[in-house]
Amino acid sequence: MKRDNKPTNLSRRKFLVVGAAASGALIVGWRTARAQQTLPYLGARIEPQSLGLFVRIENNGDIWIGARGCEIGQGVKTSLPMLIAEELDVDWSRVRVEQLPYGYVDTDKGPSDKYGDQGAGGSTSIPTAWKDLRQAGATARWLLLVAASAKWNLPAGQLRTQAGHVLAPDGNKLAYGELVEAASKLDPPAEPQPLKNPADFKIVGKPTLTVDAREIVTGQTRYGIDAYRAEALVAVVARAPWIDGTLASLDDAEARKVAGVKDVVRIAGPKPGAPFDGALADGVAVLATNTWAALKGREKLKLEWKPGPFADESSESLRRQADDLLKPAHADKAVAVRRDGDVDKARKAAHKTIEARYALPFLAHATMEPPAALLHVEKDKALLIASLQDPDGASEVIAAITGLARSKIEIRLTRAGGGFGRRLKNDYIAEAALIAKQTDKPVKLLWAREDDLRHDFYRPFYLFHMAASLDRKNDIAAWSARCAATPRNHRDVRLKDRPVWASTLAPDDFPAGLIPNFELSLLPLDSGQPRGWWRAPVHNATAFAVQSFIDEIAVALKQDPLALRLKLLGAPRELPYTGHGGPTFDTARMAAVLKAAADKIGWGRKPEADRGLGIASHYTFGGYAAHAFEVSAIDGNVVVHRAVCAIDVGRVVNPLGLEAQMMGGTIDGLSTALNLGITLKDGKVQQSNFGDYSLLRMAQAPLDVEVVIVDSGKEPSGAGEMGLPSALPALTNAIYAATKVRVRELPIGDQLRKIL
Amino acid sequence: MQTTSRTAKPSTAAPATKADDDKTLPLRINGRDYRFDGDDTMPLLWYLRDTLRLTGTKFGCGIGACGACTVLIDGKAQRACLTPMKAVAKREVTTIEGLAGAELHPLQQAWIEIDVAQCGYCQAGQIMAAADLLKRNPNPNDEEIGKISNLCRCGTYPRIRRAIKRAAEIAKSRASREGGKP
């Protein structure tokens, strides 16, 4: 299959002209077919015809499909067009994909989005597109069918479509390209069109290669950081090293002497204690004609900062605070997240109570492409080219800082060098806007890796105290999880009306609903550090505590860890799940992925000497994942000999992409468990670059991740995040099986080397 | 400033004999000649990106730890972020944009077939590191492949391994195709 996206006779600009003239949101606004007939289509050798916002068909049979999502490596640039192509009923090898820009429109009823939801967060791209983008494809197909029906004077009901053609009962057929002119003059259907029976899918469910892979491997892809303008000035920023620190003095004389440095400007961080909705820190930006000059200029700045109120925070003090808060004396400070039955009573009646604590550090996102933006702010308009996850938020923050109307802010989306939640925060866009406002030139903002690790919205710090009370039959009669954590809602306006535990803990996480006496509570910790969403938010921490603890209970009871999990899940049924990914949690689907992972790794066999098998599972955002690892840790050196990930995300759109996400999530989980943590001393982040924030390298990663896809055929969830959470406890459970050492604090670091 | 329009464009002339008063550095990048008259301590990375707009070579860490900026210098994989301009004078630099010949490099072909890339940002560096490896060792085993120290935040390592092995096959079949008839 040829998947060549080289520029054709249709330039990007022309395509954007068509797109920009269209109006209204997708479902109601599909009636763009006629509107664009009046648009000039200058210079095109072949007259293309568009059917709505997402589909353009050329006379030569090529089908252009617009990809609306922010591509951060999760595969939406391929998978979302697949959904449209499926319902449009075209030959995928004729499909070409074009990244759509951010589609903001003002309407009578306020701001609206032209292409639907374009953000990348919460693994929602596929479930959302499953509803609206398939309908987009079906509507375009309907227009073509009706056009053929008029041409042949046959009822549309007698016609069918196949691979880009409309077929008549007598064997006549018309290519879509021959119908598109007539089709584009039709009124859109009044009702949503019926969608295909999954049994008839020809594209969805088939392994499909990344549409722009050729550009990637030849170095042609332009990420946000690759956007240049001849007249642009490169900006790098020196930032206050403390939260709410402020600039005390600045001497930029030496910096300005560096050849190429054009200006030095100040930018303001947040007001002390106020929401983090602009730049994250007070800063001084050096603007230069090239990156090297800007970096050298920054080194020459003479700066003094006032520390602010968090200058004595440290990881040790945070841990002390957490240990202290977990003492019974502070029980009144606990905020209940969920409470079933009577845990205290059950504990008093219990035969035995098992307790353990699990600690997880702050984590940085460390996207391979550091934050960067090209922003040109002019008097009456602005242009942003950047790698984003939340273009709505970027548009809002530029409007807030520049005073421009959002409709005057053009945003071009690029492929992003990773997201992992970092780009759900637009602080770097705010920085670019604060700088760009002070110059008439375009500003090309670049963060060095040190800037990125030290100025992030970190995954919260967690310390869990788990307790399980067993009755005389050794059933778990009571479960208590008390969690001291730095709540995610800290200085976040988007969470201000939510409970303090929102985005930090999930009330219906396993094993909630399966144990009669259950409590989950949060003890909020004070910390100045900004907190953000980090791949599989909430679950990247809770899975470790819960799935480690289940393993410890199994050991204490001398039960098989898999059998205990299956017993807890019990009879197949759906339990209510109020958090993101709900409305239900299906015990049978969880059990199925556990069994699939266990089967694949050969659960129950006796592994080679010095090796152990570990298993864990977790439900994240509608997806069910289980990991099983075979591990050794001789002298404390962890080697993952086999890694299995079983996954049920409902109906699979692109199995090749799903396998990639599970492989990546698994390795991300291993990397995180083994090596990663952000620590604080004297109020400052101690890590600076990949030397001390050491992502897993190829030699440490398993040779393969064996992905088992359990196709339940249910409504699809996304897949970007589910592959991570259970990887961490599966690893430490396997380490226990191999060594009898229980890791309760992450990262593993050199803990095992000290013991073994 | 370190760049002039003259140095930013490929010179059409063959590498000229250097005049005594010419303090510019002669460069050869992807088969084209350039001359550079700026700060010769500047890392090659910024010349490639800012001046030549060869943006396939990526910035990831600036300390040689991640390998996103890997290029070939006289065929050997090097971190462009740590290589000062003065170190590349009169040497042959190949970036990802210059790797393919008339057809894609076997690694590029294999990378597409195996669908290695997720975000894709580190992949140019991975491919350049692998190109060096395959040149030295046309049939690398797992341990030898594991010596590639480039970081991938998306965790594509297993597919990188598969793609390198696949590229070795592609290279072999191309060699036998071009090796003439029996």
pLDDT given at position A48:
54
- Arithmetic mean of pLDDT, A286-315: 97
3-class SS at A50? strand
pLDDT at A130 > cutoff 90? yes
CB atoms within 10 A of CB B101: 7
Domains A224-309+371-446 and A326-363+457-755 share a fold: yes
Which candidate in A208, A214, A216 is best for mutational testing of the B interface (most B CBs within 10 A)?
A216
> Under a CB-based contact definition with an 8 Å cutoff, are residues A532 and A424 in contact?
yes
- Arithmetic mean of pLDDT, A516-532: 98
Does the interface ipTM go beyond 0.85? yes
Read off φ and ψ for residue B137, nearest 5 degrees.
-145, 95
Distance from the Cα of B66 to chain A's closest Cα (Å) equals 7
Record: contact B124-A666, CB cut-off 8 A: no
Q: Does A257 touch chain B (CB under 8 A)?
A: no
The per-residue pLDDT for range A464-500, each reduced to its tens digit, is 999 999 999 999 999 999 999 999 999 999 999 999 9
The per-residue pLDDT for range A196-206, each reduced to its tens digit, is 999 999 999 99
The per-residue pLDDT for range A332-363, each reduced to its tens digit, is 999 999 999 999 999 999 999 999 999 999 99
pLDDT at A749 > cutoff 50? yes
pLDDT given at position A184:
83
The per-residue pLDDT for range B134-180, each reduced to its tens digit, is 999 999 999 999 999 999 999 999 999 999 999 999 999 999 988 75
Chain A residues close to B104, C-beta within 8 Å = 214, 217-218
- Arithmetic mean of pLDDT, A647-651: 97
pLDDT given at position A685:
98
Give me the residue spans of the domains in chain A.
12-217, 224-309+371-446, 326-363+457-755
Q: Which of A214, A664, A671 sits opposite B118 (nearest CB)?
A: A664
A271 CA to centre of own chain? 29
Distance between CA A627 and CA A623 in Å, rounded?
13
Nearest alpha carbon to residue B50 among A87, A236, A743: A236
pLDDT at A312 > cutoff 50? yes
The per-residue pLDDT for range A412-451, each reduced to its tens digit, is 999 999 999 999 999 999 999 999 999 999 999 999 999 9
pLDDT > 90 in chain A, percent: 87
The per-residue pLDDT for range B83-142, each reduced to its tens digit, is 999 999 999 999 999 999 999 999 999 999 999 999 999 999 999 999 999 999 999 999
pLDDT given at position A511:
98
**The CATH number of domain A224-309+371-446 is 3.40.50.300:** no
Distance between CA A489 and CA A501 in Å, rounded?
8
> Under a CB-based contact definition with an 8 Å cutoff, are residues A518 and A508 in contact?
no
pLDDT given at position B167:
98
pLDDT at B10 > cutoff 70? no
Residue B45, judged by CB atoms within 10 A of its CB (0-12, 13-18, 19+), counts as buried
A49 pLDDT tier (thresholds 50, 70, 90): low
Distance between CA A525 and CA A322 in Å, rounded?
7
pLDDT given at position B180:
57
Q: Does A368 touch chain B (CB under 8 A)?
A: yes
Domains for chain B: give ranges and CATH numbers: 5-98 (3.10.20.30), 106-174 (1.10.150.120)
pLDDT given at position B21:
66
- Among the residue ranges A1-10, A147-156, B2-11, B150-159, the one predicted with the least confidence is A1-10
Chain A residues close to B117, C-beta within 8 Å = 73, 210, 213, 216-217
Dihedral sign computed on CA atoms, order A708, A710, A711, A717: negative
Distance between CA A653 and CA A659 in Å, rounded?
11
- Among the residue ranges A95-109, A271-285, A412-426, the one predicted with the least confidence is A95-109
- Classify domain A12-217 by CATH number: 3.30.365.10
Q: Which of B49, B115, B146 sits opposite A213 (nearest CB)?
A: B115
B13 pLDDT tier (thresholds 50, 70, 90): very low
Average pLDDT, rounded, for chain A: 92
Q: Does A554 touch chain B (CB under 8 A)?
A: no
Chain B residues close to A703, C-beta within 8 Å = 142, 158, 161
Compare A529 and B10 and report the one with higher pLDDT. A529
pLDDT at A117 > cutoff 70? yes
Q: Does A297 touch chain B (CB under 8 A)?
A: no
The per-residue pLDDT for range A535-579, each reduced to its tens digit, is 999 999 999 999 999 999 999 999 999 999 999 999 999 999 999
pLDDT at A245 > cutoff 60? yes
- Among the residue ranges A222-226, A527-531, A752-756, the one predicted with the least confidence is A752-756
Q: Residues of A26-40 as b/e, b for ≥16 C-beta within 10 angstroms?
A: beebbbbbebbeeee
**The CATH number of domain A326-363+457-755 is 3.30.365.10:** yes
pLDDT given at position A186:
87
> Under a CB-based contact definition with an 8 Å cutoff, are residues B167 and B106 in contact?
yes
Nearest alpha carbon to residue A539 among A508, A493, A570: A508
> Under a CB-based contact definition with an 8 Å cutoff, are residues A264 and A315 in contact?
no
A185 pLDDT tier (thresholds 50, 70, 90): confident
Distance from the Cα of B30 to chain A's closest Cα (Å) equals 13
pLDDT given at position A141:
94
Chain B residues close to A676, C-beta within 8 Å = none
Distance between CA A42 and CA A231 in Å, rounded?
28
pLDDT at B2 > cutoff 90? no
DSSP characters over A67-106: E-S--SSSSHHHHHHHHHHHHHT--GGGEEEEE----EEE
Q: Which residues pair with A469 in a beta bridge?
A: A353, A478
Q: Which residues pair with A363 in a beta bridge?
A: A459
Distance from the Cα of B3 to chain A's closest Cα (Å) equals 10
Read off φ and ψ for residue A382, nearest 5 degrees.
-145, 150
